[in-house]
Amino acid sequence: MSAIGEFIDYVTTAGNWTGPKGLLRLTVNQLLVSGIAVVVAAAIAVPAGLGFGHVRRGGLAAVSVANIGRALPSFAVLVLAFGVFSQAGRGLSIWPTAIALTLLAIPPMFTNTYTGVRGVDPRIRDAAAGVGMRRSQQLWKVEAPIALPLVMTGIRVSATQVVATATLGAWVGFQCLGTLIFEGFAQQNDGKIITGAVLVSVLTISIEVALSKLERRLSPWATTPSGGPVDEPPDPTLASPFHPGRPA
Amino acid sequence: MDAAIVLNDVTKQFPGSADVAVGHLSLSIATGTITVLVGPSGCGKTTVLRMVNRLVEPTSGQILVEGTDIRSQPVHELRRRLGYVIQQTGLFPHRTVADNIATVPGLLGWDKARTAARVTELAELVGLAPDLLDRYPAALSGGQQQRVGVARALAADPPVLLMDEPYSAVDPIVRHRLQDELLDLQQRLGKTIVLVTHDVDEALRLADRIAVVNVGGRLEQYDTPTNVLRQPASAFVEQFLGAERGLRRMGLLHVADVTPSGGAIVSPTDTPATARSAMAAANMTWVGVVDDGRLLGWVDGGDLNGQATVAEAELRPFTTVVQPATVLREALDVVVTSPMLAAAVIDPDGRYLGMITIDQISDGLR
Amino acid sequence: MHKGALPGGEAMTKTMKSTTLLIVALLAALGLIASACSSDDTADAGTTQGPQIILGAQDFGESAILAEIYSQALADAGYDTRIQTLGGFRDISMGAFASGEINFAPEYVASLLEFLNDNAGTASGNLSTTLAELQTELEPLGLEALEPAPGVDTNAFVVTAETSERLGITKLSDLANLDSPIKLGGPADCETNPFCIPGLRSVYDVDLSGSFVGLDSGVVATALGNGEIDMAVLFSTDGRIASENWVLLEDDQNLLAADNIVPVVTAELIDAYGEAMAKVVNAVSQKLTTPVLIELNRQFDVDKQSARDIAAAWLADNPIG
């Protein structure tokens, strides 16, 4: 049977959708672990990025530190996290995967938030201070909203990476869509492999699309084309109210 | 007049810099006037302005706003009383025009209705069409953005307006118009305005008093524009003002500032003999004909050949006319291009006030 | 991933499946890079003329060590050799033979047989009959098995000493006496592998399918050591069994098959080098006993030494010929 055929066969078998290792449960788990990772990472990375960006110092060092997380192979982090949690008897749980994904999610969110706040036009910061905003108001009313499109991009990039990478959780015993791929390879079951791969792709793309929409929705001003209209030519009758009576 | 802003021996030295940005500056700015700080870039004029609203803290010295030391109240409260307009407007890109204007009322906790009414009022005041209020700043022209910046600064009706190079980002024609609008606004609202610019013409055009600032924040001269032009206090000021000081000054003075001569004038019923003696007295070869305070025209001396009255001679229309409000520089142009090297001064009601020639203009500049 | 070496994986269909092809291409590319990086594996191409001997190593420690040992022994004997790194799946190593990318691979008698005969279940604990069947399967592929080593690497069902004592289990038949199924962790193919969960069910009447958790081979031992699973599927030659003092449950009803180490070579290689090469290889195989394999794996898994260093040191201590 062709690979496509096996895939169709797998997803059209009702029994594959239900039960503790059914597609529904696996999809929910994949989303659950991704959700935890994105929320925890955002709770750490966004305030940190806002803070470093607002005070405008120490950020470069922080970005470098955060990016170490990006350089580490996810699978190595996952195995390490498993080892740590396993010592507490919690290795076979959602947590090793959630923590490894959190570390993966932090760098893009932190870097984008920091860059977004750091990049606010100094004249706009000046204006915010100049109109009499307190420091916190400058951050929350001006810097943070202006950085929001970049913050959201960071969250979107992280979230799509996380959803796709959550697949690896299967290798440390976390039941998710990756389990289909993990078992499919070991059991020479192409239907399972393709089903897993397709569902992961569908989830990743859906989240990418949904977050892009949310991004545009949250910052309508950012989509306004820059460069406004040219000033209309002045009305000549206003230019000089008093005409000397010049010879005709 | 009271002083709205007083700087007492103010010095600013930025950390890590060997030279002072502003050294021992004392300055008193009168309430309800436009004071322009002008000087080359890097002279410290912007630092002076930013010390007033404490975006920069002085190293030493004291600054008073409306009689109180600016350090005696929380900085954000101080700033809400000092409208602030900056280069390229500094509008908040994520807020609509209306929300930008409503910034300070929002900080002050005004209710919705009051804020909305104020926004509408300000939009009208600065000449913003109502349909622009829902747009984001990026969708506005440079001139429109500048008006929003002014409206935002005026929102809570602050007594003082600080403007830092407000027109540097708009083209000359629009700049000219915005300057006119500022003068108009100032007349209506009577704010104390402190404006920083590097543009001498802008300074001369807007200022009640000009503070010419040299590098290191040194005050070279502090006087009215015409006085600064007439009598530069130092070689620096003279050089900074550039060439054509006389012409520039004439750009600031008006016909009303010079005393017209009576000229050779007769009424239509006078005889040619009267006209001739008037011409002789004024050392002129023509005579103006005035009836009931109105200038009817002029008669050439050569045309007076035995008529009974001046009215019977050929009456030529008077085409070189200026008004009291005419800028002296334009009046000079009229005079030097007129065949008679003179212009008649007529008030807006058509009344004849006298004649001006090069002599009167030159007297006025003295 | 260790599971490629497990016996009884579903056999490769004659026409390769598309996903498999993709992986083969990917890993072949990786292998080319790896081989390019290790070109100094080529020992003195001195005395013997003929095709280069290319040894396929799957990506788990034992396979890499065995490939190194055979390669270095052959190089010492004057053959031109190099090692081609392959993925963890058996269909890849068999594919590499077919495409000529390798002509020598250390294999396992029973597992390879079950792979080639589509899981017919004919492999047994009897080495000679299993080997004979393997030769029959290999011949049409132009391959030949040399003499198997005494060393066996099978699935090993392992518990900690503490669990063994607490539950009173030392052999697989003891599992049937437990009140509730023991929690088992191992490679994901255990669920379908006839020498794993299905075999435990048919031979020992113990159904562990409900309490099984699939794990990457890299973390199975960690999970067992930390008590997250009660029983692990490891390899009988895993070095950690000895170092951690774990208990290998005795296969008292002969579920497991004769998975002796066996070098598989192409007929072309035999034609070219004949008995001389076989002699070198067989001399090596003879010394590869189960305790030797356990020690070599321990050096790899526990001491974290490289396969090449382990092989070189072992050959120095155990000179061939």
A224: nearest CB among B84, B139, B152: B139
Specify whether the CB–CB gap between B221 and B233 falls below 8 A.
yes
Q: A246–B334: do the CB atoms touch at under 8 Å?
A: yes
Arithmetic mean of pLDDT, A84-110: 91
Q: Least CB-CB distance to A242: which of B87, B325, B334?
A: B325
Over residues A154-162, the mean pLDDT reads 95
Domains, chain A, with CATH or none: 40-172+204-239 (1.10.3720.10)
What percentage of chain A carries pLDDT values higher than 90?
57
β-sheet bridge partners, residue B34: B193
* Helix A190-218, helix A177-186: angle, nearest 10: 160
Report residue A146 as tokens: 């202006």
> Maximum CA pair distance of chain A?
103
Contact in structure between C307 and C68 (CB atoms under 8 Å): yes
Residues of C in contact with A87 (CB under 8 A): 226
**The residue to which tokens 């908040």 are assigned:** B92
CA distances from B196 to A68, A106, B39, B61 (A): 47, 45, 9, 21
Tens digits of residue pLDDT in A166-195: 999 999 989 999 999 988 888 778 888 999
Q: What angle, rounded to 10 degrees, do the helices at A23-55 and A95-118 form?
A: 30
Domain C53-150+258-317 CATH (choose: 3.40.190.10, 3.40.50.10860, 3.40.50.300, 3.30.70.260): 3.40.190.10
Q: Hunting for tokens 């290790």 — which residue is that?
A: C38
pLDDT, tens digit, 9 for 90 and up, residues C76-95: 999 999 999 987 667 778 88
Please provide residue C169's backbone torsions phi and psi, each rounded to the nearest 5 degrees.
-120, 130
Inform me whether the C-beta atom of residue A246 falls under 8 Å from chain B C-beta atoms: yes
State residue C68's pLDDT score: 96
Starting at the edge strand that comes first in sequence, how are the strands of the sheet with B160-164 ordered?
Answer: B82-86, B160-164, B192-197, B34-38, B209-214, B218-223
Inform me whether the C-beta atom of residue C226 falls under 8 Å from chain A C-beta atoms.
Answer: yes
Query: Residue B360: in which H helix or E strand, if any?
Result: helix B358-365
**Which residues are bridge partners to B218 per DSSP?**
B214
Q: What is the pLDDT of residues B331-358, one digit of tens each?
A: 898 888 888 788 889 888 888 888 888 8
**Is pLDDT above 90 for A234?**
no
Is the CB of A173 less than 8 angstroms away from the CB of C218? no
Band (B71; pLDDT cuts 50, 70, 90): very high
Give the nearest partner residue to A231 out of B138, B141, B162, using CB atoms. B141
Domain ranges in chain C with CATH number 3.40.190.10: 53-150+258-317
Average pLDDT over residues A210-219: 92
> Among candidates C253, C256, C261, C106, which has minimal Cα distance to C193?
C256
Q: Which residues, in sequence order, are CB contacts of A10 under 8 Å at separation 6+?
A: A16, A191, A192, A194, A195
Q: Where would I find the beta strands (DSSP E) of A118-191?
A: none
Question: What's the confidence (pLDDT) of residue A225?
Answer: 52
Separation in Å, CA of A38 to nearest CA in chain B: 26
Ramachandran assignment for C205, one of left (phi > 0), alpha (psi -120 to 50 degrees), beta (any other): left
Two structure tokens written together for A151? 């913050």
Residues of chain C with Cβ-Cβ distance to A183 below 8 Å are 188-189, 191, 214
Task: Provide Rg for chain C, Cα atoms.
Answer: 19
Residue that wins the pLDDT comparison between A59 and A26:
A26
A127 interfacial to chain B (CB closer than 8 Å): yes
Cβ burial, residue B119 (10 Å; 0-12/13-18/19+)? buried
Q: Report pTM.
A: 0.74
* Predicted confidence (pLDDT) at residue A223 exceeds the cutoff of 50: yes
* pLDDT one-digit tens code per residue, B135-191: 999 999 888 999 999 999 999 999 999 999 998 888 888 888 899 999 999 999 999
What is residue C16's predicted lDDT score, i.e. its pLDDT?
A: 37
Parallel, antiparallel or unpaired: strands B352-357 and B342-346: antiparallel
> Closest by alpha carbon to A49, among A103, A119, A100?
A119
Strand-strand pairing, B209-214 and B34-38? parallel
Q: Is C16 in CB contact (< 8 Å) with chain A?
A: no
Helix (H, G, I), strand (E, B) or coil at C208: coil
Q: Which of A38-52, B39-53, C89-103, C146-160 has the lowest mean pLDDT?
A: C89-103
- Other beta carbons less than 10 A from residue A229's beta carbon: 11
CA neighbor of C182 nearest in space, from C157, C161, C199 = C157
Can you tell me whether residue C238 is helix, strand or coil? coil
Do the Cβ atoms of A187 and C216 come within 8 Å?
no
Comparing C-alpha atoms, which of C184, C183, C182, C148 is closest to residue C263?
C148
Give the angle subtended at the CA of C60 by the CAs of C156 and C138, to the nearest 5°.
80
Does residue C122 sit at the A interface (CB-CB below 8 Å)?
A: no
Could you tell me which of C317, C321, C312 has the C-alpha nearest to residue C70?
C312
Predicted local confidence at residue C21, as pLDDT: 44
Q: Report the run of H or E that residue B29 belongs to, with start and end.
A: strand B22-30
Find all residues with CB under 8 Å of C290, minimum gap 6, and list them. Answer: C150, C151, C152, C153, C236, C237
Per CATH, the number for C155-248 is 3.40.190.120
Cα–chain center distance at B72: 34
Tokens 């004592």 sit at which residue? C165
Q: What are phi and psi of C194, to 5 degrees?
A: -65, -15
DSSP A54: H
Which chains neighbour C (Cβ–Cβ under 8 Å, 3 or more pairs)?
A
b/e map B248-286, b = 16+ CB within 10 Å: bbbbbbbbbebebbebbbbebebebeebeebbeebebeb
Is the CB of residue C226 less than 8 Å from the CB of residue A86?
yes
Beta bridge pairs of residue B165? none
C/B Cβ contact: 3+ pairs below 8 Å:
no
Residue bearing the bigger pLDDT, C321 or B236: B236
Question: Which of B190, B169, B80, A227 has its CA nearest to residue B147?
Answer: B169
**pLDDT at C126 (0 to 100):** 86
- Chain C residues within an 8 Å CB radius of A83: 219, 222
pLDDT at residue C115 in the model? 86
pLDDT at B112 over 70: yes
**Beta-strand pair C155-159/C231-235:** antiparallel
Q: For testing the chain C interface, which of A4, A86, A182, A188 should be mutated: the one with the most C CBs within 10 Å?
A: A188
**Long-range residue pairs from A211-219, CB within 8 A, at least 24 positions apart, any chain:** A211/A152, A211/A155, A211/A156, A211/A159, A211/A160, A212/A156, A214/A152, A215/A149, A215/A152, A215/A153, A215/A156, A218/A148, A218/A149, A218/A152, A219/A145, A219/A148, A219/A149, A219/A152, A219/B94
CA distance A119 to chain B (A): 13
Mutation for B interface: A142, A150, A231, most B CBs within 10 A: A231
Distance from CA of A159 to the nearest CA of B (A): 25
List Cβ neighbours of C313 (8 Å cut-off, separation of 6 or more).
none
Subunit partners of chain A (3 or more CB pairs within 8 A): B, C
Q: Is B199 exposed, middle or buried (0-12, 13-18, 19+ CB in 10 A)?
A: middle
CA distances from C148 to B160, C124, C129, C189, C254 (A): 98, 15, 12, 25, 20
ipTM of the complex: 0.78
Give every residue of chain C whose pLDDT is below 70, as ranges: 1-48, 88-89, 321
Strand pairing category for B209-214 and B294-300 = unpaired
Q: Write out the DSSP string of B194-258.
A: EEEES-HHHHHHH-SEEEEEETTTEEEEEE-HHHHHHS-SSHHHHHHH-S-HHHHHHHH-BGGGS
Mark yes or no for CB contact C219/A91 under 8 Å: yes
The answer to whether A90 faces chain B, any CB pair under 8 Å, is: no
Residue A198 zone, left/alpha/beta (φ > 0; ψ -120 to 50; rest): alpha
Among A4-8, A100-104, C145-149, the least confident range: A4-8
- The Cα diameter of chain C in Å comes to 65
